[in-house]
């Protein structure tokens, strides 16, 4: 195990043999660091945090910090992180508010410099958060979503899978799957076509995503009318079901 002599690894911390901890890093007493993880110099992994395999925590990132939520009443809330994530410089990820729960982050995600994931968020897999983007408490982000530079996502909002939030956007309602939202306040502008192309969606599937966009944003229909129309459309069933499920379970409303 490569632990630099200047690093602080508190008694009780659990590190798999090939984990690496660089100069002046700090590992808290309840942290669990998985195989192949690298904690760079001056980075911190604190609290009841579990890191899967192959995560990289860059200098000055703070993983597992105490929630900002003023409802916190003590105890040891959790943070559960999957494998293959990258946390760049000064990124912050907070534990949940209640000891019985955890903030959840999946695998293969990239969190760029100064990005922030607040308490009780649920982040899927292969998400990219650009520099200075921030998720408020209880935000949910679906697989392969992109959060642009300096975007802010309001508490309890959701960003659907393969969706994108543009740079400097303010999101106060849910962003449906496959859509691109931008502005302050954000509006859905079109489908997130580049993301779909990069992730192997067929031309037919992309055309179906365009049709879904038109139903909800270009036909003058209300929410229920749009959902009823989509149910009867001959579009890719997985795209249709993902959108219908997402919208029908929205509590804040969707953009």
Q: Which domains can be identified in the chain, with CATH numbers?
A: 2-138 (2.160.10.10), 198-248 (no CATH)
158-195: b or e for each residue (b if 16 or more CB lie within 10 Å)? bbbbbbbbbeebebbbbbbbbbbbbeeebebbebbbeb
**Global confidence as pTM:** 0.95
- List the Cα angle 253/250/228 in 5-degree steps: 90
Q: What is the mean pLDDT of the chain?
A: 97
Q: Are 181 and 163 in contact (CB under 8 A)?
A: yes
What whole-number distance in Å separates Cα of residue 81 and Cα of residue 11?
21
Q: What is the pLDDT of residue 158?
A: 98
> 112 falls in which pLDDT band (50, 70, 90)?
very high
What whole-number distance in Å separates Cα of residue 45 and Cα of residue 87?
11
Q: What is the pLDDT of residue 127?
A: 98
116 is catalytic: no
Radius of gyration of the chain (CA): 20
Render pLDDT for 115-124 as a digit per residue (tens, 0 to 9): 999 999 999 9
What whole-number distance in Å separates Cα of residue 188 and Cα of residue 26?
42
Which residue among 34, 119, 142, 152 is the active-site one? 119
Render pLDDT for 51-73 as a digit per residue (tens, 0 to 9): 999 999 999 999 999 999 999 99
Report the DSSP pairing between strands 179-183 and 164-165. Answer: parallel
Which residue among 28, 52, 106, 137 is the active-site one? 137
The pLDDT of residue 13 is above 90: yes
What whole-number distance in Å separates Cα of residue 181 and Cα of residue 189?
6
Render pLDDT for 177-225 as a digit per residue (tens, 0 to 9): 999 999 999 999 999 999 999 999 999 999 999 999 999 999 999 999 9
Contacts 24+ apart (CB under 8 A), 116-124: 116/91, 116/92, 117/92, 117/93, 118/67, 118/68, 118/69, 118/94, 118/155, 119/67, 119/68, 119/69, 119/77, 119/94, 119/95, 120/67, 120/69, 120/96, 124/161
154 is catalytic: no
> 20 falls in which pLDDT band (50, 70, 90)?
very high
The pLDDT of residue 1 is above 80: no
Short-list 178, 150, 174, 149, CA closest to 164: 178
Q: What is the pLDDT of residue 17?
A: 85
The pLDDT of residue 230 is above 90: yes
119 is catalytic: yes
> 231 falls in which pLDDT band (50, 70, 90)?
very high
Which residue among 120, 143, 208, 236 is the active-site one? 120
Q: Are 79 and 63 in contact (CB under 8 A)?
A: yes
What whole-number distance in Å separates Cα of residue 24 and Cα of residue 9?
10
Query: What would the two tokens of residue 79 be?
Result: 């943070």
């Amino acid at each position: 195990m490569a632990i630099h002599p200047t690093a602080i690894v508190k008694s009780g911390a659990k590190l798999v043999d090939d984990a690496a901890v660089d100069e002046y890093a700090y590992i808290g007493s309840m942290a669990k660091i998985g195989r192949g993880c690298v904690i760079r110099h001056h980075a911190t992994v604190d609290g009841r945090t579990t890191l899967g395999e192959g995560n990289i925590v860059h200098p000055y990132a703070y993983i597992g910090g105490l929630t900002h939520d003023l409802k916190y009443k003590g105890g040891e809330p959790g943070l559960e992180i999957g494998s293959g994530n990258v946390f760049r410089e000064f990124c912050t990820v907070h534990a949940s508010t209640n000891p019985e729960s955890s903030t959840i982050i999946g695998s293969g995600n990239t969190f760029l410099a100064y990005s922030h994931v607040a308490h009780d968020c649920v982040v899927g897999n292969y998400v990219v958060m650009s520099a200075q983007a921030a998720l408020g408490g209880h935000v949910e982000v679906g697989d392969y979503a992109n959060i642009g530079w300096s975007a802010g996502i309001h508490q309890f909002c959701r960003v659907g899978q393969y969706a994108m939030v543009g740079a400097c956007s303010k999101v106060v309602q849910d962003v449906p799957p496959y859509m691109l939202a931008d502005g302050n306040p954000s509006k859905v502008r079109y489908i997130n076509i580049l993301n779909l192309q990069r992730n192997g969606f067929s031309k037919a599937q992309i055309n179906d995503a365009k049709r879904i966009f038109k139903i909800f944003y270009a036909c003058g229909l209300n929410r229920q009318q749009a959902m009823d129309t989509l149910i009867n459309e001959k579009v890719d069933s997985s795209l249709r079901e993902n959108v219908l499920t997402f919208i029908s379970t929205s509590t804040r409303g969707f953009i």
